[in-house]
Amino acid sequence: MTLDYGLAGKHAVVVGAGLGIGRDCAMTLASAGAAVMCVDIDEQRAAEVARAVTESGGKAASFVGDVTVRANVEALRDETDSVFGGADVVIDIVGLAFNFGILEISDEDWDRNFRLNLVQNFLVTQVFARYLREREIAGSIVHIGSATGFLPHIGSVAYSAAKAGLNSLIQSSAVELAPYSIRVNGVAPGVVDTPRRRAEFTDASVTASLKNVPMRRFATTQEIANTAVFLSSGLASYISGQIYLVDGGAMAVGPFPSALPETRAV
């Protein structure tokens, strides 16, 4: 018996598909047989991912837009419906850490942070949930959150607050949308080796970031995408309202990190 993800012939929307985690979500969904709408604010990135999906034998289209604006999310819904004739699966990976403490952050950065790390998740959820309900589609919506949504990253007060709010948005939406067979879940990464972060790595920052990670390495973008695609798939048909920590065991450490064994992952 082969493992059936139940994604063949489905229509997926990956919001923030242009880089790292989003790109791996698009490629993985396509390899499981879904057609993928590759969405990004960056036109070149959106087009390149759609091309990569098509070149690997999958079906894809691209959409360019800033999803912090409701009109753009509604245009995305209409474009997906007209190009694919439907949408069943949405994965939203858009988000960016705003590294300011409570004493420094300005009103403008607080507002920008919330638009990018929570308001756009609300817009994507509401616009696509209404669409799925109207068409009576049993769909799935997955958001990429962060471990900071469970325990704050000190020095990133607004980002942590937004990701905590995202956890609550996921749980409320899952409960309200369950009667329509719409599942809503999240993936909460710890530290991830993304192309953008890699450019910022120094020996000192890598050592500090891995101090409390039992697996002693960063997640790959593919490992985060695997979890998001699993939650979007038929294999997760009874999972809703969950936020999956994918953090190499970091959240299990507790107050005595000095007791961590000095093992290295292979």
Ligand X SMILES: NC(=O)c1ccc[n+]([C@@H]2O[C@H](COP(=O)([O-])OP(=O)(O)OC[C@H]3O[C@@H](n4cnc5c(N)ncnc54)[C@H](O)[C@@H]3O)[C@@H](O)[C@H]2O)c1
Do the beta carbons of residue 159 and residue 113 sit within 8 Å? Answer: yes
Least Å from the CB of residue 216 to ligand X: 16
Least Å from the CB of residue 18 to ligand X: 3
Least Å from the CB of residue 145 to ligand X: 7
Q: Which of 91, 93, 164, 231 binds ligand X (CB under 6 A)?
A: 93
Query: What is the rounded CA–CA span in Å between residue 94 and residue 92?
Result: 6
What is the Cβ-side half-sphere exposure of residue 131, based on CA atoms within 13 angstroms? 26
Known catalytic membership, residue 180:
no
AA identity, residue 238: Y
State the binding string over 107-146 for ligand X (x if CB under 6 A, else -).
Answer: -------------------------------------x-x
| Residue 198 found at the interface with ligand X (CB under 6 A) | no
User: Helices then strands (H, E): number in the chain?
Assistant: 9, 9
Query: Which stretch in 19-27, 129-137, 177-185, 256-264 sits in contact with ligand X by CB under 6 A?
Result: 19-27
State the binding string over 48-87 for ligand X (x if CB under 6 A, else -).
Answer: ------------------xxx-------------------
Query: What is the rounded CA–CA span in Å between residue 108 and residue 101?
Result: 14
Least Å from the CB of residue 162 to ligand X: 9
Query: What is the rounded CA–CA span in Å between residue 19 and residue 104?
Result: 30
Rg (CA), the chain: 18
Do the beta carbons of residue 141 and residue 236 sit within 8 Å? Answer: no
Kindly state the DSSP code that residue 1 receives in the 8-state scheme.
-
AA identity, residue 85: G
Of 20 and 137, which CB lies nearer to ligand X in the complex structure? 20
Binding interface with ligand X (CB under 6 A):
16, 18-22, 40-42, 45, 66-68, 93-95, 144, 146, 189, 191-192, 194, 196-197
